[in-house]
Amino acid sequence: MERFVIEGGHRLSGSIKPSGNKNAALPLLAATLLTNHEVVLHNIPQIGDVASMIGLLEHLGAQVERRGSHSWSICAANVGAAEPDPALARKIRASVLLAGPLLARRGFATIPRPGGDMIGRRRLDTHLNALRDLGVSIEVTPTAYLLHADRLRGTDLFLDEMSVTGTEQAIMAAVLAEGDTVISNAASEPHVQDLCHFLNRLGARIEGIGTNRLFIQGVSSLRGGEYTIGPDFMEVASFIGLAAVTRSSLRIVGARPSEHRMTRIAFGRLGVTWRDEGDDIVVPADQDLCIRDDVHNAIPKIDSSPWPGFNPDLISIAIVVATQARGTILIWEKMFESRLFFVDRLISMGARIILCDPHRVVVVGPSQLYGEPDGLPSPDIRAGMAMLLAALCAQGRSVIYNIGQIDRGYERIDERLRTLGAHIERVR
């Protein structure tokens, strides 16, 4: 079992480039099943969740070949009757995204219950309701979903929530359906946009990209092609938070600043600022982290919401930054009822946090954090990265266990942070 050993309290400096977007890579890999032709994907991060998805594609019969450190060639011409490997499917939430492509290609699929972060109930009803409306019969068992469709048929969909993966599922099922599909109340995150642009490059006809209403004209087949995914939105924001809590100056290269307008507003409530230089984000050193009260000195809040709101995956990072800011703030995670339980570990490090209920915390800062040499857990990808930020700004030595969770979403994070001057080692 590997762990990170971190000596906190050191300034960082330099430039870092975000990896490819994990939340784009996984649906794009699943979407390669929609065509018989070769697809080449670039800027794919080397992370655990990608390895699991590639393993699932190979188990289904796709020919997968690495083309350099971050490029893959996939040809799904020989996908037969095999079903997704249950053991691999249970490792990642995105395994459920194989349903739409398999139904479009062959009319049936048995999809094991997916895995992923244990951050509370993660409902699949949006996926299943959309597939039913597209003509899929579904049998739900305790361990799997048995899906069958003689023919997918376009329809007018209204999703019951702005689910990212639910929207992606509906898109992939609709592009080869008979007739036209309208998806209303659709998610519109950058990774959903990447999926749409990728499918259009292969010959799909999707309009309304970037909005909450998508129009899809079904086509009979898709061709091959190449596509380069964008930078990881979560990683960019994590690096902004890292610079702020360590009082460091960092340049985040190729960060797509236009995607971080809400990040700027939310982090700005904590006193975090940065400047855009072309496609880079530059965070200055020694920022005065002071929480900005609302009008009439009301206590402000940061709350999660669908795009273009503040992403729920960044709530954990925001909490750590808030511990280093002067003042009081309410942070409200509206989606998942188990995401905030990691704050007990921050409290043990010296943070002044009140866990009001499973969805809300009050943070009073600034607090001097102290290392945890006896060990900190990494309960999920985002909380694991938040614990890493806390350890890097804490005084003293910390050990983080279960770092496979962090590796699922952040590529070689220890090596990359060492280039900035972080005192972090991966040990067994």
| Mean predicted lDDT score pLDDT of the chain | 94
Which residues are known to be catalytic?
Answer: 117
C-alpha distance across the termini of the chain, in Å:
6
Greater confidence, 148 or 338? 148
Per DSSP, the chain holds a count of helices (H) and strands (E) of 14, 22
Name the band, by pLDDT with cuts 50, 70 and 90, for residue 331: very high
Domains, the chain, ranges and CATH? 3-19+233-427 (3.65.10.10), 22-228 (3.65.10.10)
Query: What is the pLDDT at residue 122?
Result: 60
Query: What is the pLDDT at residue 79?
Result: 87
Asked if pLDDT for residue 211 goes beyond 80, the answer is yes
Least confident of 117-126, 185-194, 349-358: 117-126
Asked if pLDDT for residue 120 goes beyond 50, the answer is no
For 147, list phi and psi in degrees, rounded to 5: -120, 140
**CA-CA distance, 270 to 390, in Å (whole number)?**
16
DSSP 153: B
Tens digits of residue pLDDT in 264-313: 999 999 999 999 999 999 999 999 999 999 999 999 999 999 999 999 99
- Whole-model pTM: value is 0.93
Report CA Rg, the chain.
22
Query: What is the pLDDT at residue 82?
Result: 80
pLDDT (average), residues 229-256:
97
Residue 57 near residue 28, CB atoms below 8 Å: no
Name the band, by pLDDT with cuts 50, 70 and 90, for residue 339: confident
Asked if pLDDT for residue 121 goes beyond 70, the answer is no
Residue matched to tokens 């402000």: 300
pLDDT (average), residues 223-248:
97
Q: For the purposes of burial, counting CB atoms within 10 Å of the CB of 359, is it exposed (0-12), middle (13-18) or buried (19 or more)?
A: buried
